[in-house]
Structure 1
Amino acid sequence: MKISGVDIRPGNIIEYDKGIWRAVKIQHTQPGKGGAYMQVEMKNLIDGRKTNVRFRSAETVERVRLDTKDFQFLFQDGEMLTFMDKDTFEQITLPSDILGDAAAFLQDGMDVVMELHEEKPISVQLPDQIEAEVVEADAVVKGQTASSSYKPAILDNGVRIMVPPHITAGTRVIVDVYEQAYVKRAE
């Protein structure tokens, strides 16, 4: 489906320069002279390259529809991740860099959504939030105000995040996977 260059939104998958790209950030610019354009930061879903492109309103791009399938994460073997199709029970192995920084949040048995283009896996989407345990948290510094003071903590998966002063080692917390940030204390 063709769309105008100024209709691109973050998250859109487009075909550009013989590749499949995801729009990461957009900025609509209307200079005093000349026509408006959309500055789009894109990430190549095949090889991970990033680029910035200007699209004018007269330009059109092909918007790509990706198929999505439910998979379950089974295990990690070195740099390779093994997933199982929840419908056919077929297993697929992918490099861990397909997930980027989010790979640290994978948990055995976790349900994920895999995006496929022409039956080839392009990306893996984890749940937005997961539950993790704080294994190490710095002590609270006396005299700091509680309103904006966060302290560093390390989760059971080795990821370092900032948490409120009342969080101690052994506390289970909800973490935003893609922002790598504390959301709330787990119930």
Structure 2
Amino acid sequence: MAALIEAIEIKRKMFFEFEDTPYHCLDVEVSTPTARGGQTLVRLKMRNLLTRAVFDKTFKAGDKFKEPDLTMNPASYLYSDGEGHHFMDQETYETLTLNDEMVDHALDYLLEGMIVQIQKFNDNPIGLQMPQHVELTVTYTEPGSRGDTASGNVTKPAKLETGLEVKVPLFIKEGEKVKVSTETGEFAGRA
């Protein structure tokens, strides 16, 4: 039996199960009443891990939640087609197929063979977690011109091998590998 978590114990970035659905806590606000006998309320900003919907809900401090049966399994990206996006579980070697909602914006960073973490709820894939940074090759960028620095514009657009466009410093050339943040989609340095 999974352990029970009281609403007052839930912190940011925790996972919990509510109405047989896994949730991720994005923010917590506790309101303690000043009147005697008033109940402490916990307002949670939470993301439904199955539908990706985000909403606020208020609970009593003593409300209990189960810990969800969530696991993270390493998997390598194989390919995408009309049926979905295919990954190979690195432990069981089975092929896992995720739909567009599960993959979300990660396609901007995925290359064939890249290892990601597949999130499973009750052994069914529900989403994926990308590494914090990925290394991608610049396929096209304008040559930087010396005069650009005077105007304060010290970046230029660059197209990466996945099709993603990011702003890079003037010294970056075609064919170079760059590190890109998967959270912000911004240039994070040379690879």
| Alignment gaps of 5+ in structure 1 | none
**Equivalent residue for 2:18, pick from 13, 16, 19:** 16
Which of 53, 72, 89 in structure 1 is aligned with 2:76?
72
Give, in whole Å, the separation in 2 of the partners of 1:183 and 1:37.
40
- Structure 2: runs of 5+ lacking an equivalent: none
Q: Cα distance, 1:182 vs. partner?
A: 1.2
Q: Secondary structure at the match of 1:173?
A: strand
TM value normalised by structure 2: 0.80
Alignment of 1:112-127 (within 5 A): 112-127=116-131
When structure 1 is superposed on structure 2, of 172-181 and 153-162 the one drifting more is 153-162
User: Which of 105, 116, 138 is equivalent to 1:134?
Assistant: 138
Structure 1's 163 and 7: CA in aligned 2 closer, same or farther, altered over 3 A?
farther
Range that drifts further, 118-127 or 157-166: 157-166
TM-score normalized with structure 1 length:
0.81
How much is the aligned-residue C-alpha RMSD, in angstroms?
Answer: 2.6
* 2:85 aligned to which of 73, 81, 87: 81
From 164, 170, 189, give the equivalent of 1:184: 189
Task: Tell me if the contact between 2:42 and 2:59 (Cα under 8 Å) persists in the aligned partners.
Answer: yes
Q: CA deviation at 1:27?
A: 4.0
Task: Give % identity.
Answer: 24
- Give the distance between the partners of 1:153 and 1:38, measured in 2 at CA: 45
2:29 equivalent to 1:28: yes
1:2 maps to what in 2?
Answer: 4
Q: SS where residue 48 of structure 1 aligns? A: coil
Q: If you compute each CA radius of gyration, which structure gives the higher value, 1 or 2?
A: 2
Q: Which amino acid aligns with 1:4?
A: E
Aligned length, in residue pairs: 183
